[in-house]
Amino acid sequence: LTSKRYQIERGQFSTISEEDVNFFTNLLGHHRVINDETELEGYNIDWLGMVRGASSVLLKPKTTEEVSTILAYCNKRKLAVCPQGGNTGLVGGSVPVFDEIIISTALMNKVENVDTWLGVVTCQSGCVLEALDEHVSEYGLMIPLDLGAKGSCHIGGNVSTNAGGLRLLRYGSLHGSVLGVEAVLASGEIVDCLSAMKKDNTGYDLKQLFIGSEGTLGLVTKIAINCPPRPQSVNLAFLGLETFDDVLKTYKDAKKKLGEILSSCEFIDQSSIECVEKNLKLKAPIGAHPFYMLIETSGSNGIHDEEKLNVFLEEALGAGLVTDGTVATEPSRMHHIWSIRERIAEALINDGCTYKYDISLPLPHFYKMVEDMREHLGSNILRCCGYGHIGDGNLHLNITSKEFEKDLLNLIEPTIFEWTAKVNGSISAEHGVGFKKRNYIHYSKSSGAIALMKQLKALMDPNGILNPYKVLPDN
Ligand code: FAD
């Protein structure tokens, strides 16, 4: 059980009673109050299968008002809750630790408005990212966020984790793209910051507090998000490289030579590719190399974009930076190549028990960390590999072993966080802190900043009912 593995004590919250269940059933009806143990199983365990809670009730509100009534009641009764979107989070934030009531946004999936002039969609927080992107594509727009979990994750989950993904390099972070947020506080109070304007400097930018706070300050119910025009032409190059130094030089060249059409720059090492080929039977489009890169361009003029990409590739090949590669323009081939990158996380789960790290590092240190960890862990493991969003300095370092071993975890942590702090990196680039990393947050945040975070939490959620045991450290 999670509580045993992580040695944590339950907070001073009430335990759910029959009367509480009756209250929720009166509000939502039988079908939207789930208390069947088998049905709850999938909501109590995280995507990685590493963290498990023991909630006995899951609620499925459809409206902001229902969320407000639920939270006001839970606050009064001191019942802890865990907001849940698509449950694809990777830091144990989306599942209860003990018996917190799960509030799922699965039925809050209405698109309210698409402003085709400014390019803004306003929707409920439970819209699945891929479905929302398909919806705005009908208006020639796109959601400025894409990630491997797009078929399951909710836009509210994305906002609550400040998800980064595959195109942050081009479209920036959600702190910029999200124009408005509506959220419900622990007290049940609805905070309406749902502006759909690109510019709105009326006082404190409160919506930012809900972006990346992982459900600890409020439950996000609606979002307005800036949608750029959907690109008319997309090209994807899959490249093989011999040294990490060549990877860095190729990235720098890509920024310079592809300029405004560069939309993604991803990095994969050989061990990650081997893992995908072995566990998912997906074949890489080129032969074996120590390193690989995916470089995507998106623009408005196919001829112009292809010409630019070809010049960049010819020069990279000519200079010996890139030794092999292939370019795809047809959607099915691009999809195949992207799935190799997007399904590494899934391949790792099939490899064994996965110890997953999501770290920001200055680029000169980026791959050194993987090499150092490999040496540090020696033969105790099945695999230590690195891939990620190199264009954002974001490394996904993963280690696998046959089964969960506490000794191995102790060998990895806190060494990995100390290493990161030494080079002024961040111990969580885009996945968040959740349950797993909260007691390591001081490696990336000053004590003054942590103290202020705790004060904000006390102000916005005085009873601490919103996603307890997450984000904030014990001490
Ligand atoms: P959940 O997992 O359900 O929840 C995540 C956190 O947000 C929890 O703390 C939860 O309590 C809180 N939360 C959820 N909804 C709300 C709400 N409405 N209001 C308040 N709090 C809420 N992440 C990236 O950043 N970039 C990637 O490239 C990326 N790739 C991934 C690939 C795969 C295959 C997988 C499995 C995950 C990946 N992730 C990535 C991680 C994950 O998908 C993101 O963190 C995603 O944003 C989580 O969305 P979700 O709806 O699944 O949220």
| Amino acid 5: pLDDT | 64
Residue of 94, 101, 177 to mutate, ligand 1, most atoms within 8 A of C-beta: 94
| Amino acid 427: pLDDT | 97
Query: Does position 1 have pLDDT exceeding 50, yes or no?
Result: no
Please state, as a whole number, how many other Cβ atoms lie within 10 Å of the Cβ of residue 252: 12
**Reported confidence tier of residue 368, pLDDT bands at 50, 70, 90:** very high
Q: How far is the CA of 244 from the centre of ligand 1 (A)?
A: 30
Do residues 339 and 248 make contact, with C-beta atoms less than 8 angstroms apart?
no
Look up tokens 């143990």; give the residue.
Answer: 37
- State how far the Cα of 168 lies from the Cα of 186, in Å rounded to an integer: 31
**Token pair recorded at residue 212:** 């990346």
- State how far the Cα of 464 lies from the Cα of 208, in Å rounded to an integer: 20
pLDDT digits (tens, 9 = 90+) for 246-282: 999 999 999 999 999 999 999 999 999 999 999 999 9
Q: Peptide bond preceding 414: is omega within 30 degrees of 0, i.e. cis?
A: yes
**Reported confidence tier of residue 422, pLDDT bands at 50, 70, 90:** very high
Q: Is 153 in the pocket of ligand 1 (CB under 6 A)?
A: yes
Q: Is 105 in the pocket of ligand 1 (CB under 6 A)?
A: yes
Q: Which domains does the chain have, with CATH numbers?
A: 2-106 (3.30.43.10), 111-226 (3.30.465.10), 233-344 (3.30.70.2190), 352-444 (3.30.70.2740)
Q: How far is the CA of 163 from the centre of ligand 1 (A)?
A: 7
| Amino acid 7: pLDDT | 81
Residue of 58, 62, 88, 171 to mutate, ligand 1, most atoms within 8 A of C-beta: 88
ipTM here: 0.99
- State how far the Cα of 186 lies from the Cα of 72, in Å rounded to an integer: 7
**Reported confidence tier of residue 2, pLDDT bands at 50, 70, 90:** low
- State how far the Cα of 69 lies from the Cα of 187, in Å rounded to an integer: 9
Residue of 55, 90, 97 to mutate, ligand 1, most atoms within 8 A of C-beta: 90
pLDDT digits (tens, 9 = 90+) for 59-101: 999 999 999 999 999 999 999 999 999 999 999 999 999 999 9
| Amino acid 282: pLDDT | 96
- Taking the alpha carbons at both ends of the chain, their separation in whole angstroms is 23
Q: Is 273 in the pocket of ligand 1 (CB under 6 A)?
A: no
Look up tokens 């996380």; give the residue.
Answer: 345
More confident of the two residues 472 and 4: 472
Residue of 153, 214, 460 to mutate, ligand 1, most atoms within 8 A of C-beta: 153
Q: Is 181 in the pocket of ligand 1 (CB under 6 A)?
A: no
Share the mean pLDDT of the chain: 96
Look up tokens 């390099």; give the residue.
Answer: 169
Average pLDDT score over residue span 229-239: 97
Q: How far is the CA of 241 from the centre of ligand 1 (A)?
A: 32
Ligand 1, residue 389: give the atom nearest the CA: 28
Ligand 1, residue 470: give the atom nearest the CA: 9
| Amino acid 380: pLDDT | 84
Nearest CA to ligand 1 atom 53: 157
Residue of 84, 129, 152, 272 to mutate, ligand 1, most atoms within 8 A of C-beta: 84
pLDDT digits (tens, 9 = 90+) for 302-341: 999 999 999 999 999 999 999 999 999 999 999 999 999 9
CA dihedral over 39, 148, 376, 441, signed as positive or negative = negative
Query: Does position 170 have pLDDT exceeding 80, yes or no?
Result: yes
Ligand 1, residue 166: give the atom nearest the CA: 28
Average pLDDT score over residue span 132-160: 98
Query: Does position 4 have pLDDT exceeding 70, yes or no?
Result: no
- State how far the Cα of 337 lies from the Cα of 235, in Å rounded to an integer: 11
Q: Is 264 in the pocket of ligand 1 (CB under 6 A)?
A: no
Rounded percentage of the chain residues whose pLDDT exceeds 90: 98
Q: Is 350 exposed, middle or buried (CB count within 10 Å of its CB: 0-12, 13-18, 19+)?
A: middle
Query: Does position 3 have pLDDT exceeding 70, yes or no?
Result: no
Q: Is 61 in the pocket of ligand 1 (CB under 6 A)?
A: no
Ligand 1, residue 94: give the atom nearest the CA: 8
Query: In sequence order, what DSSP letters do the residues of 191-228 get, joined into one string?
Result: EEE----S---SS--THHHHTTSTTSS-EEEEEEEE-P
Average pLDDT score over residue span 378-391: 95
- Angle at Cα 123 formed by Cα 122 and Cα 128, nearest 5°? 130
CA dihedral over 58, 61, 62, 64, signed as positive or negative = negative
Nearest CA to ligand 1 atom 46: 158
**Token pair recorded at residue 419:** 């290493």
